[in-house]
């Protein structure tokens, strides 16, 4: 199958450090290539891939301090449009920026929505482009937009060999994610402090979150037992997550998926997560971690960590969240979209065929009537 993967340009594919969307695009692209598919990746020029790379910019826009990212994305979409006929399917990971293009494409396509959808402005947008075929990364992600053209839900997956299982953990809790209000670093610090556990924080601080981080989080980092590491890459995650007794995921927003939960499970590390968004779809309570509703419940869950089998955490990851499983799910959706496109094209042709046959019938009938009238006239003249 000839497949185009269209990534955001904010981070490279895979990203050097933080970047969940681009990481998933990389895992999917590499697995598709490994299975023998002809894949073209539209991404930044510093991306590393075994697929054919088409790069509208030399570097990832975040690291290049780009101020006008839409300009580069528009150039990418125009290049994709020129090449669209070369592909059997186009897979977008660029949110909604490409929707006007998608409406005009004749090549089958799908869009995976990776972000939150409970934003007021998205309602009018998705009603306008209601025909665009979209894929969710959790069932809960769909709830704000039930009228969208949902084709399926595909959980994010990781390569099985990306992280190694760790049977023994050190006596610390881990937090990994963005330093933004909805991710709950302050909650994690309070949970660790009240349980007497050390907390290690690996967090990315975006420009938009710098004020929040300086005002709310930095003062908390002065407490004993709190270690702020900063942003880390995949290689560093192995030890950071693998050696932790648990990952804290005290979110306050409808998390669309939560890739870090599966990264922890891949290392055998259980997750203590607040019951919001996709958490109940990812975590099996009492098996791969604990789903809690309050800070007090999270504190209690820390005391129950010895009841979790770390090997079972790894097994859950292998069974449900591998990149192989994710890829097979997407391939089924690709085939579904291609078949649907073929049906739509056949349906468009049928009225023309019917109209042509009807015209022939009318013409034949007219000729017959003309012949009959002529014969009657001749008989009358006799």
Which residues fall within 8 angstroms of residue 94, CB to CB, at 6 or more apart?
A: 6, 7, 8, 73, 111
Q: Judge if 106 and 192 occupy the same domain.
A: no
The answer to the question of residue 350 being in a domain is: no
277 with 184, same domain: the answer is yes
Between CA 202 and CA 233 the distance in angstroms is: 10
**Residues 104 and 189 reside in one and the same domain:** no
Give the pLDDT band of residue 345 (cuts 50, 70, 90). Answer: confident
Per-residue pLDDT reduced to its tens digit, 33-92 = 999 999 999 999 999 999 999 999 999 988 766 666 789 999 999 999 999 999 999 999
325 or 360, greater pLDDT: 325
- The answer on 83 and 49 residing in a single domain is yes
Tell whether 364 is covered by a domain: no
Nearest-angstrom CA–CA distance, 333 and 154: 9
Distance CA 203, CA 184 (A): 11
pTM of the model: 0.88
pLDDT of residue 375: 37
Number of domains comprising the chain: 2
Find the helix or strand (DSSP H, E) in which 230 lies. none
pLDDT at position 262 is: 98
Residue 377 pLDDT: 46
Tokens at 25, concatenated: 């695009």
Token pair recorded at residue 142: 């769909």
Say whether both 41 and 76 belong to one domain.
yes
Cα separation of 191 and 5, whole Å?
Answer: 41
% residues pLDDT > 70 (the chain): 90
The stretch 270-295 carries a mean pLDDT of 98
Residues 41 and 80 in one domain: yes
Residue 276: inside a domain, yes or no?
yes
Supply the CATH number for residue 202's domain: 3.40.50.2000
Note whether residue 244 is domain-resident: yes
Tell me if 352 is assigned to some domain.
no
Size of the chain in residues: 382
Average pLDDT over residues 93-99: 97
Where b means 16+ CB within 10 Å and e means fewer, 336-345 reads bbeeebeeee
Is the pLDDT at 374 greater than 90? The verdict is no
**Buried b / exposed e across 251-279, counting CB within 10 Å, b at 16+?**
beebbbbbbbbbbbbbbbbbbbbbebbbb
For residues 121 and 179, state if they share a domain: no
Stretch (H or E) spanning 66: none
21 and 133, same domain (yes or no): yes
Residues 177 and 148 in one domain: no
Residue at a domain's end among 324, 345, 364: 324
Statement: residue 363 has pLDDT above 90: no
Query: For residue 180, is pLDDT > 90?
Result: yes
Same domain, 186 and 113: no
- Residue 380: its pLDDT value, please? 41
Three-state secondary-structure class, residue 264: helix
pLDDT, the chain, mean: 91
Q: Cα–Cα distance between 313 and 285 in angstroms, integer?
A: 11
Contact 22, 9 (CB under 8 A): no
342 lies in some domain: no
Q: Assess whether 93 and 176 both reside in one domain.
A: no
Which is nearest to 189 in space by CA: 151, 217, 167?
Answer: 217
Q: pLDDT-based confidence at 367, cuts 50/70/90? A: low
Which of 125, 153, 181 delimits the end of a domain? Answer: 153
Give the range among 17-26, 56-65, 317-326, 336-345 with minimum mean pLDDT. Answer: 56-65
Domain of 15? Answer: 2-153
Q: How far apart are CA 94 and CA 77, in angstroms?
A: 10
Side-chain-side CA neighbours of 125 within 13 Å: the count stands at 13
**Terminal alpha carbon distance of the chain:** 74
222 and 149 share one domain: no
CA distance linking residue 140 with residue 363, whole number of Å? 58
Is 215 within a domain?
yes
Of 107, 123, 153, which residue constitutes the final position of a domain? Answer: 153
Residue 331 lies in a domain: no
């Amino acid at each position: 199958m000839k497949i185009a993967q269209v990534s955001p340009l904010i981070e490279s594919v895979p990203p050097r450090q933080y970047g969940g969307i681009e990481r998933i695009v990389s895992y999917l692209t590499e697995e598709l290539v490994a299975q023998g598919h002809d894949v073209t990746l539209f991404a930044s020029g510093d991306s590393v891939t075994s697929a054919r790379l088409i790069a509208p910019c030399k570097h990832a826009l975040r690291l290049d301090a780009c101020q006008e990212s839409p300009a580069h994305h528009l150039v990418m979409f125009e290049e994709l449009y020129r090449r669209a006929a070369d592909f059997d399917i186009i897979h977008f990971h660029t949110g909604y920026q490409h929707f006007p293009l998608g409406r005009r494409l004749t090549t089958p396509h799908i869009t995976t929505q990776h972000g939150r959808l409970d934003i007021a402005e998205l309602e009018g947008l998705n009603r306008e482009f209601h025909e665009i075929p979209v894929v969710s990364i959790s069932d809960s992600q769909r709830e704000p937009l039930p009228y969208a053209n949902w084709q399926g839900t595909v959980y994010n997956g990781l390569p099985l060999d990306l992280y190694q299982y760790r049977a023994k953990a050190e006596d610390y809790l881990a937090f990994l994610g963005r330093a933004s209000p909805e991710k709950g670093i302050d909650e994690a610090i309070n949970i660790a402090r009240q349980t007497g556990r050390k907390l290690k924080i690996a967090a990315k601080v975006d420009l938009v979150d710098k004020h929040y981080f300086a005002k709310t989080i930095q003062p908390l980092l002065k407490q004993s037992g709190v270690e702020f590491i900063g942003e880390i890459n995949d290689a560093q995650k192995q030890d950071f997550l693998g050696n932790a007794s648990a990952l804290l995921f005290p979110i306050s927003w409808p998390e669309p998926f939560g890739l870090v939960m599966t990264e922890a499970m891949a290392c055998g590390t259980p997750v203590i997560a607040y019951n919001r968004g996709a958490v109940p779809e990812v975590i099996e309570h009492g098996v791969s971690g604990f789903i809690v509703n309050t800070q007090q419940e999270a504190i209690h869950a820390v005391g129950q960590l010895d009841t979790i089998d770390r090997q079972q955490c790894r097994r859950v990851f292998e069974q449900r969240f591998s990149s192989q499983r994710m890829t097979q799910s997407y391939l089924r959706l690709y085939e579904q979209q291609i078949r649907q496109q073929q049906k739509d094209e056949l349906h468009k042709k049928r009225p023309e065929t019917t109209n042509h046959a009807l015209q022939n019938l009318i013409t034949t009938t007219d000729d017959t009537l003309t012949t009959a009238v002529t014969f009657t006239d001749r008989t009358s003249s006799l």
